[in-house]
A and B are shown apart, each in its own frame.
Chain A
Amino acid sequence: MTENTRRRLLSIVCILGFFVAWEILCFIFNVSDIVLPRPSQILMTLWTRFPAIWPHALQTLYTTLLGFALGIVIGILLGMLIGSSRLAYDVAYPLLVGFSSIPKVAVVPIFVLWFGAGTVPAVLTAMIMCIFPIVVNVATGLAATEPELRDVMRTLRASKWEILWNIGLPRTMPYFFASLKVAATLAFVGTVISETVASNRGIGNLMMIASSSFDVPLVFAGLFILAALGVALYAIFSLIEGRVTGWAVRSDNFSAGG
């Protein structure tokens, strides 16, 4: 227990130290706030202009979560299809790799031409950003199921669906949650890309408006909010992962005992 608290304390001190060093270095070298604002200036901006900032933050959070949820549903379905069918694997994989290699900045204007600016392109961009890692990991997890387990199920006359539900999907969970943590951060990137190009609200839009009047502390305030939202989402999924796939993570106590 004391070991644990000491570890946590050390990490907090290191993270705080990073910001303090940033503050001090900016102060010593007299860096102008147009080049790099100090963390204290950014926090002041966040604090004083919070009423104006928060509708943007809320919009970004909303579109990201919506895009992320759609991405998870489509990602799991596609992953299950690819992981359990040889033909689907051969057809969908090259398409998927090709599609995910396209820079998303190039896709946003196309979405805008189809649906107009605003929430829809942001949701779609967040969705396509996070589909790829989810599909790949779910498919890999299914492919990595031990054949022995499948054979046992088959001798028990289980149907293909029952094997997938009882063996395949539980085995896939650790892969799936690993991909969710990547996908959650990517979803934010997707939303913000879309918002900088075409939207009336959102952190991306805030940063464009701020940079058009050289309000650099406000740009950084936007970045801070994004970082905080990303960390929060990551933490939430780590927590769920610990609950659902605890069996796959070897804790220190366990390895000591075994």
Chain B
Amino acid sequence: MRRPLTVLALASCLVIAMATASPAAEPVKIRFTLDWKLQGIHAWYYWAKAKGYFAVENLDVTIDQGEGSAAAVTRVMSGAYDAGFGDINAIIQNAATKPGETPIMVYMIYSKAPFALLTKVGGPIKSVKDLEGSKLGSPAGGASFKLLPLLARQNGVDYGKIAIMQVSPSLQEQMLIRGQVDSVAVFTATSYINLVSLKLDPDRDFRWMYYSDLGLDLYSNGIMVSPKLAREHPEAVRGLLRAINRSLRETVENPDAAIALLATEEPLINKDIEKRRLLYVYKTLIDTPEARDLGIGDVSDGRLASAIATIATSFELPRVPAAADIFDRSFLPARVDRIPPTVAP
């Protein structure tokens, strides 16, 4: 006759456990995925973790490295991750076919998209018009490549007259340097640093033609959260953004300390290269005139609507998703806290 006693004991334990657990407010667990392997541009997430900014907001954040900024979106959609650093254009594409399941962008970081055409200064391509009849190299799956037909149409270039060569991402700069192609469609943050690693001067010897200056004005990577996290723990999302916003500004103001801290996480990174990557990305993609006007993290509604329309046309989406399903500014910290810091040139 000991069984009823055991049940009673178990039940009372459970009641006590529940009673003690709820008022103590357990930290909210957030599994966070990056867009790629550890690089200088991820310094602020590790900074926030190491300095305890996540803990202050009662968050328990685990950071995992990623396999691509579009894959980060599917990782959050699968439920394996609650939040991540990923590509808004991939959110737009997924929102068209699976509305209600896609993550929501809550803090835009790259307010200028890193898609560009790269050519040699002495080469035959002086403007986008010269693409006709020239050889262009690009990896097949890259976003820069997929947007190319639309870029050509916007600029009155006959896409059929461009000779396209498929090249692997690790070889595209080499192909350009050797003259096997006249231009390459690249991701600037990666290409710029590749050229530096190849001991070349990316500013003096190469011309960068940003898609955003050629009529394709898109947004890019930012912080996104799962709809479930936004619905069930809105305060946690606000806390996450407060912590990341603060770290981003401190990281940019103290790049050496930030990279040194990143190197304790992963001693194999090349500190000089990662610092240069961090500052290059900050200056070209984050500290834009729009970010100075609206603050880092926010977007212009008009620009976002036209970016969604652009993606819907170039990827032939079945429907155009509503801007409210893509971006939500209600979790952002106050604008005074989001003013981009200036860095020494």
- Known contacts A113-B78, A114-B80, A211-B170; A34/B267 CB under 8 A: no
Interfacial residues of chain B within 260-287, with CB under 8 A of chain A in the complex:
266-270, 273-274
Interface check A116, CB cutoff 8 A:
yes
Asked if A205 is at the interface (CB within 8 A of a chain B CB), the reply is: yes
- Are A212 and B78 in contact, CB atoms less than 8 angstroms apart? no
CB neighbours of A205 from chain B (8 A): 37, 65
Partner of B268, one of A112, A114, A118, A206: A206
> Which of A56, A115, A200, A210 has the most chain B CB atoms inside 10 A of its CB?
A200
Rounded to whole angstroms, the CA-CA distance of A112 and B31 in the bound complex is 13
Within the assembled complex, what's the spacing in Å between the Cα atoms of A200 and B80?
16
Distance of A118 Cα from B39 Cα, bound (Å): 18
Residue of B nearest to A49 (CB): B268
Would you call B80 and A115 a contact (CB within 8 A)? yes
- Cα of A102 to Cα of B63 in the assembled complex, Å: 30
Give every chain A residue within 8 A of B266 (Cβ-Cβ): 52, 209
Determine the residue in chain B with the shortest Cβ distance to A55: B267
**Given contact pairs A109-B71, A112-B75, A113-B74, A212 touches B65 in the complex (Cβ within 8 A):** no
Contacts of A52 in B (CB 8 A): 266-268
Among A51, A116, A199, A205, the one with the most B-chain Cβ atoms within 10 Å of its Cβ is: A116
Contact A51 B37 (CB under 8 A): no
How many angstroms between the C-alpha atoms of A200 and B274 in the bound complex? 17
| B residues 229-277 in Cβ contact with A at 8 Å | 266-270, 273-274
Task: Choose, from B107-115, B128-136, B192-200, the stretch at the interface.
Answer: B192-200
- Among candidates B31, B37, B170, B268, residue contacting A53 with C-beta atoms closer than 8 Å: B268
Which of B33, B67, B194 meets A109, CB within 8 Å? B67
In Å, the complex CA distance between A218 and B269 comes to 11
State whether A197 touches B268 (Cβ < 8 A): no
Q: How far is the CB of B322 from chain A (nearest CB, A)?
A: 26
- Given A113-B74, A113-B78, residue A214 in contact with residue B197 (CB < 8 A): yes
Segment 83-115 of A: residues with Cβ below 8 Å from B: 109, 112-115
Interface residues of A in 27-50 (CB under 8 A from B): 34, 49
A34 neighbours in B (Cβ, 8 Å): 197-198
Q: Considering the complex, which residues of chain A in the window 198-227 have a beta carbon less than 8 Å from any beta carbon of chain B?
A: 198-200, 205-206, 208-215, 218
- Contact residues in B for A209 (Cβ distance below 8 Å): 37-38, 266, 268-269
- Judged by a CB distance under 8 angstroms, whether A117 is at the interface is yes
What is the CA–CA distance of A115 and B269 in the complex, to the nearest angstrom? 27
**In contact, B268 and A210 (Cβ under 8 angstroms):** yes
Contact present for B67 and A197 (CB under 8 Å)? yes
Give A34 to B195 CA distance when docked, in angstroms. 12
Q: Is the CB of B64 within 8 A of A117?
A: yes
With an 8 Å Cβ cutoff, the count of chain B residues facing the other chain is 30
Q: Of A113, A214, A218, which one neighbours B75 at CB under 8 angstroms? A: A113
Which listed residue (B67, B71, B80) contacts A116, Cβ 8 A?
Answer: B80
Binary contact track B65-107/A, C-beta < 8 Å → 1, others 0: 1110001001100101100000000000000000000000000
Q: Looking at the assembled complex, report how far the CB atom of B116 sits from the nearest CB atom of chain A, in whole angstroms.
A: 19
Q: How many Å from the CB of A186 to the closest CB on chain B?
A: 22
Q: Which residues of A contact B74 (CB under 8 A)?
A: 113
Query: Are B268 and A198 touching (Cβ within 8 A)?
Result: no
Q: Tell me the bound Cα distance from A51 to B263 in angstroms.
A: 13
Please indicate the chain B residues that have their CB under 8 angstroms from the CB of A218 in the complex: 268
A116 to B64 alpha-carbon distance, docked (Å): 9
Contacts of A112 in B (CB 8 A): 67, 75, 80
**Cβ contact of B64, chosen from A51, A56, A200, A206, cutoff 8 A:** A200
**What's the Cα separation between A232 and B66 when bound, in Å?**
31
Chain B residues within 8 Å of A118, by CB: 64
Chain A residue with the shortest CB-CB distance to B170: A211
Query: Given contacts A51-B267, A112-B75, A215-B270, is CB(A208)–CB(B80) below 8 Å?
Result: no
The 4 closest A-B pairs by CB, nearest first: A52-B267, A214-B197, A113-B78, A117-B64
C-alpha gap A115/B33 in the complex (Å): 13
Interface pairs (6), CB distance under 8 Å:
A34-B197, A53-B268, A112-B75, A117-B64, A197-B67, A212-B190
CB distance from A237 to the nearest CB of B (A): 31
Known: A53-B268, A214-B198. A113 touches B67 (CB 8 A): no
Chain B residues with CB below 8 A from A117, complex form: 33, 64-66
Contacts of A114 in B (CB 8 A): 78, 80
The CA of A34 and the CA of B64, in the complex, are separated in Å by: 29
Inter-chain CA distance A51–B264, complex, in Å, is 12
CB distance from A196 to the nearest CB of B (A): 9
Question: How many Å lie between the Cα of A49 and that of B67 in the bound state?
Answer: 25
What distance in Å separates the Cβ of A108 from its nearest Cβ neighbour in chain B? 9
Chain B residue numbers with a CB within 8 Å of A116 are 31, 64, 80-81
Q: Which of A51, A199, A213 contacts B270 (CB 8 A)?
A: A213
A56 to B74, CA, bound (A): 27
Point out the residues of chain A lying under 8 angstroms from B267, CB to CB: 49, 51-52
Closest CB of chain B to A219's CB: distance in Å?
A: 11
- Name the residue on B nearest A110 (C-beta): B78
Kindly list chain B residues whose C-beta atoms are within 8 Å of the C-beta of A115. 80
